[in-house]
Chain A
Amino acid sequence: MADRSDPHGKTYWLDDPRNVDRLVHGFYVICGLLVAIDIFVPKHGPFAIEHIYGFYGIFGFVACVALVLIAKQLRRILMRPEDYYDR
């Protein structure tokens, strides 16, 4: 990984893609655990939808995927060259 190392010769722990993979896999496990413990948490909110198993997790995931996909499509309409207003 010569191109990723520091010009001063120092390599960082995150420079190794295997370490990044380890982090990401650990993160997947934490996400799974978080959804798993949902069953032990008593819910108090007034809205019925909130009492669905894993509601917040599912909502967060779906919301963010939707956000990114919509924003990506918005680029087709909204994106202009950087000097658009200067011309």
Chain B
Amino acid sequence: MIAEFSPGLILIVGGLVAPLFPARVRPFLMVFLPLVAFAYLLTLSHGEFGQLQMMGLSLVTLRVDKLSLLFGYVFLLAAFVGGIYAIHVRDTVQHVSGLIYAGSALGAVFAGDLVTLFVFWEGIAIASVFLIWASRNERAIRAGMRYIIVQLGSGILLFGGLLIHYRYTGALGFNTMELASPGAALILLAFGIKCAFPLLHNWLPDAYPEATVTGTVLLSSFTTKVAVYALARGFSGTEILVPIGAAMTAFPIFYAVIENDLRRVLAYSLNNQLGFMVVGIGIGTELAVNGAVAHAFADILFKGLLFMSMGAVLFRVGTVKGSELGGLYKSMPWTAGFCLVGAASISAFPLFSGFVTKSMIITAAMEGGYFWTWIVLLFASAGVFHHAGIKIPYFAFFAHDSGKRCREAPGHMLVAMAIAATGCIGIGSLPWLFYQLLPFKADYMPYSSDHVVGQVQLLFLSALAFTLLMRTGIYPPELRSTNLDSDWLYRRLGRTVALSIGEGAGALWNSCASALIQCSRSLFGGLKRYHGSGGVLARTWATGSMAFWATLMLAAYLILTHL
């Protein structure tokens, strides 16, 4: 069949022609087109399609299997929900970039070869940055600039890696790679940047909180999850990912505890959840990879839900700083309720989605005998409840009453949050239906008595710690501040070094130039003194004085010969 093309193209073409639609219709494209693409997905059967011959390369633009379909479904759901959430937006830039961004993410997960992947990888980077710039303020423009430099850097690494891979293996297929094979390390690094590996992570908490209210919701769904998909496809079972993922689960939660901007807290907790997925992919067993991709699916819903609730607060109140908020449950009870569903899901309460997905990863770590990884994952599970499960709803909606009163979030935002919340509860309550979507056959039972009791104990006693620390005043207050992270290396240290190198070079240039000017001045001054007008060597002499000197010399010669 020739009609088989990547479902991403439906959204991308829709995005490109979106400006031609009347302004009133345009916001509905993001709601309507994901449904069209979903209907198209349902007609596809497993296999490789959409083959293209280009410059002697054979490309597979559409590979359909359980793994790509799972991500395809959830990306379309995220685009659909994000579209409903953004119906009030009248900004063509966001409509166009949002559609192209979602379409590129979809195209990337259905890419059967590395070149197709690369093309959509760059599409994701370029389209997404406009959602940050659409905030149209100085901070967002600068953060977007840093973001796009990092994202394009990831693209360049991917391109370099695929060239080396093609040169040595002659194959372009996007399949499981050995880390030792040529080019694979570069490709892993490219994936690692987009997946926010430790020290490569900072673009995420730097840029996401600066995007628009609706843009952040889309951003949280696609870029990092494409990277998780790419890791699951290319590097499943790569041992080094286990410690990398474990580090990712642990260190962002310290930042999340002291961060004041609640959307930035969520960005750090997104980073922490990605860590669980990376650990699962690194372990590489069927249970672990199932857990990783299931958790990615669940994360898109609950993290989207949390970002939507904080977005609604930003939309109504104008700030999401913990130090300025509190008591909003009185004004926004529905938003608060949906936020609590998202919080329960990310914290993995029984009957909520995180419980049935994250537990697969943790069980796989136990079965694989990864003791210390397991300890770190438990610590991170307690920590994520602490900062995302308690801190976000507590400081926004409860805590001390800030006195701020506003209207409840607009109806379409509540509908979008309701859909995501239903998804969270549905996955958590009916896991066996959800498990059928997973790439490997799952006979995992999340609801065993020891697991439920253990998890509830972990969560309740974490909450007890929060309560006691709060009531004794030990808990650090929310303060308006900036916390240094690895971006300090390029935003402060790198800048200082670059500026001082510039200053040093300038000073060196100035002193060289002045020395040169000094030299030439004394050279030309000397020449002028002896050869210039009135100089000794340029003076004209009277004939008389020459005759006198000639006579004197001849006289001296006469005397000397006779002596």
Contact = CB atoms under 8 A, between A and B. Distances in A.
A38 B463 CA distance: 18
Contacts of A82: 480-482
A68 B484 contact: no
Contact size range, B: 35 or more
Nearest to A10: B330
Given A57-B457, A71-B476, A79 B257 contact: no
Interface residues of A, number: 54
A60 B482 contact: no
Interface in B231-280: 253-255, 257-258
Contacts of B491: 85
Contacts of A70: 254
Interface string B452-487: 011111111111111101010011100111111100
A47 B461 contact: no
Interface stretch (B78-86, B378-386, B539-547): B378-386
A68 B383 CA distance: 9
A43 B483 CA distance: 42
A78 B253 CA distance: 14
Interface in A31-78: 31, 34-35, 37-38, 41-47, 50, 54-61, 63-65, 67-72, 74-75, 77-78
Contact of B459 (A8, A44, A45, A60): A60
Contacts of A7: 403, 405
Given A24-B471, A68-B469, A74 B374 contact: no
B167 interface: no
Most chain B C-beta atoms within 10 Å of own C-beta, residue among A30, A31, A83: A31
Interface of B is mostly: helix
Nearest to A24: B467
Contact of B479 (A50, A67, A71, A79): A79
A46 B474 CA distance: 36
B405 A85 contact: no
Contacts of A78: 255, 258, 483-485
Nearest to A8: B405
A80 B467 contact: no
Interface in B353-374: 366-367, 369, 371, 374
B48 interface: no
A8 B407 CA distance: 13
B204 to A, nearest CB: 17
A75 B258 contact: yes
A77 B365 CA distance: 34
B386 A64 contact: yes
B561 interface: no
11 contacts: A34-B453, A41-B453, A45-B366, A57-B457, A60-B382, A60-B458, A67-B253, A67-B257, A79-B479, A79-B481, A86-B139
Closest 5 CB pairs of A and B: A64-B465, A57-B457, A71-B257, A60-B458, A56-B454
Interface of B: 139, 253-255, 257-258, 329-330, 366-367, 369, 371, 374, 378-379, 382-383, 386, 398, 401, 403, 405, 448-450, 453-467, 469, 471, 474-476, 479-485, 491-492
